[in-house]
Amino acid sequence: MWPYLDATFLSPLRLRRATSLLALGSLGLASLPAAAQQPASVPEPLTASEAPARPSDFLSPAFHKQRRELLRAQLPAGSVAVVFAAPVRNRANDVDYVYHQNPDFHYLTGYEEPDAVLLLFKEPRTVGGQPGVTEALFTQPRNPAREQWTGRRLGAAGAKGQLQLQFAADNKDFGAAGIKWGDFDRVLFDNLPTDTRDDARNPADLHNLVATFRQQAGLPADYNPAISEWETTVRRYGLTRSKGFAEFLAGQVKENPGLAKSALLRDYIAAPTDAARKTAIEAHPPGRLDDATLGEKLDELRAVKTPEELALLRRAIRISAQGQREVMKLLRPEMGEMEVQGLHEYVYRRYGAEFQGYPSIVGGGANGCILHYETNDRQRLDNDLVLMDCGAEYHGYSADVTRTAPPSGKFSPAQRQIYELVLAAQEAGFAACKPGAAFDAPNKATQDVVAAGLQKLGIIKKKEDFRQYYPHGASHYLGLDVHDRGGYGPLAPGNVITVEPGIYIPAGSPCDPKWWNIGVRIEDDALITATGYENLSAEAPRTVADIEKLMAEPSALEGFKLPDLR
């Protein structure tokens, strides 16, 4: 049965839908209580001084201001950079996902609300009648009625004061701000939002902000974000292992023939040599409407973490490592994957981490052989290895830590052999983590060890067959995104990368069945230093001896037992 249609049961979306039904005559006005019809008065939201205390270790406005200034210094002459907030994403019916800001937007502003756009001008401009503007933020306005439902808003005045923006205005003023788009030699943007919803009651939602930008900046009506994304990828990475990349790109075009409209992609794929591919890229540079350069500049900035960022990353990673430790102590054959996931995530919340950096992966046995397994619904782990790829997100920064452990507390001989091979590969990967080394150096080091080890165990006949059981790379950048921005050039001090070799042997593989359904991944987060690396997740044990020793210890969560509901 439907609940009584009372304002206390109505989310803002439900309230809007009820109002729409009224307009259609589906409900009589008497069907809604007075509170849901039109509030007679709505109290002003709590002021900042009255609001409950929040954590004090967020990145400071000075940090975000410095990031904007560094980016603006790298912009080409006569340019403007345009960055949009992330869309609100719907989960089901009138329930949205918890809002997560575009990491670039967060990095540059600290603003955590939707329906906003940031402009950075290389040279000072007049915006909204104010001369000398180098940065402008258009935000959703204050709205006491809406804030009572969905939380406090900064508004333009709050953004200007609390976030130290030079110019801030309501988003409804974006189109009329007098920005002379035709005067810019370059209009830089990246990842133009395409999955926006058009709210008829909000003329300045993200959908309309993007539409206003497209119209005023002169973006062609047939602008194709997918083509743009691949063109940008070719310009950034098309000269690294270019033959293999060209073959991969050809496969993508075959799957999506619309990509063939791009002359750059066609010429690049057709080019027979590296020199010809370089010529193809140079023949198709970004135009005045440039969706490549801004991303490249942000890659450079975000790849090197500042001390402020490292403090948050260290916290996220230590929390994740503690989650691995406590779960190892509690792990039992009768537990299920979902329970294990919940224990990790409870530890995160207990230490103040707001979210997971990505959906937790908890795979027992055969499920551990699925790289991005997220269902986590196996009811009993029994004695199969359980792969736990879990990471806390703390103030926007994500950890990424994987451990693999035996629920019984002891590795079987076959499990131990595969585990120790993966561990040896990780040690080789760590040894390759040096400033100036190629980004791919840790990956290649892990591949060599895995290939030789699998051949020695008789699991593969030729070393080049290792890809069947180790199909992914060993490293990616880590930060505001779990797969963070970065240029994938030589490793540099301040980079934070993962080192995560793995071996996955599903049932039916062409090897001795004793290896079947063994999946092992060991993943740590490494900070590149001036002389080598620091393993930021070292608190979570990695060796067989250390894991088995820890699993014999009592957990702080040992007495946490719920009553049986059956």
Q: Considering 389, 481, 525, 548, which one is annotated as catalytic?
A: 389
Which letter does DSSP use for residue 517 in this model? T
- Six-digit token string for 254: 């075959």
- Is 476 catalytic? The answer is yes
Which letter does DSSP use for residue 248 in this model? H
- 3-class DSSP assignment, residue 137: strand
Chain centroid offset of residue 495 CA = 17
- Is 284 catalytic? The answer is no
Alpha-carbon distance of 393 to 114, in angstroms, equals: 20
Q: Considering 400, 481, 484, 524, which one is annotated as catalytic?
A: 400
Alpha-carbon distance of 475 to 400, in angstroms, equals: 11
- Is 344 catalytic? The answer is no
Q: Considering 14, 16, 94, 112, which one is annotated as catalytic?
A: 94
Q: Considering 308, 472, 534, 539, which one is annotated as catalytic?
A: 472
- 3-class DSSP assignment, residue 141: coil
With contact defined as beta carbons under 8 Å apart, do 127 and 177 qualify? yes
- Is 400 catalytic? The answer is yes
Q: Considering 135, 190, 299, 523, which one is annotated as catalytic?
A: 523
Q: Considering 337, 500, 525, 548, which one is annotated as catalytic?
A: 500
With contact defined as beta carbons under 8 Å apart, do 341 and 390 qualify? yes
- Six-digit token string for 305: 């973490």
Q: Considering 268, 358, 469, 504, which one is annotated as catalytic?
A: 504
- 3-class DSSP assignment, residue 359: coil
- Six-digit token string for 503: 């071996």
- 3-class DSSP assignment, residue 314: helix
Q: In what order do the strands lie in the sheet with 397-398?
A: 355-356, 392-394, 397-398
- The string of DSSP codes covering 7-35 is GGG--HHHHHHHHHHHHHTSS-GGGS-HH
Q: Considering 476, 481, 484, 485, which one is annotated as catalytic?
A: 476
Alpha-carbon distance of 101 to 454, in angstroms, equals: 43
- Is 94 catalytic? The answer is yes
- Is 500 catalytic? The answer is yes
Q: Considering 521, 524, 525, 533, which one is annotated as catalytic?
A: 521
With contact defined as beta carbons under 8 Å apart, do 239 and 278 qualify? yes
Helices (H) and strands (E) in the chain — how many of each? Answer: 17, 19
How many Cβ atoms sit within 10 Å of the Cβ of residue 175?
18
- Is 504 catalytic? The answer is yes
Catalytic center residues: 94, 372, 389, 400, 472, 476, 483, 500, 504, 521, 523
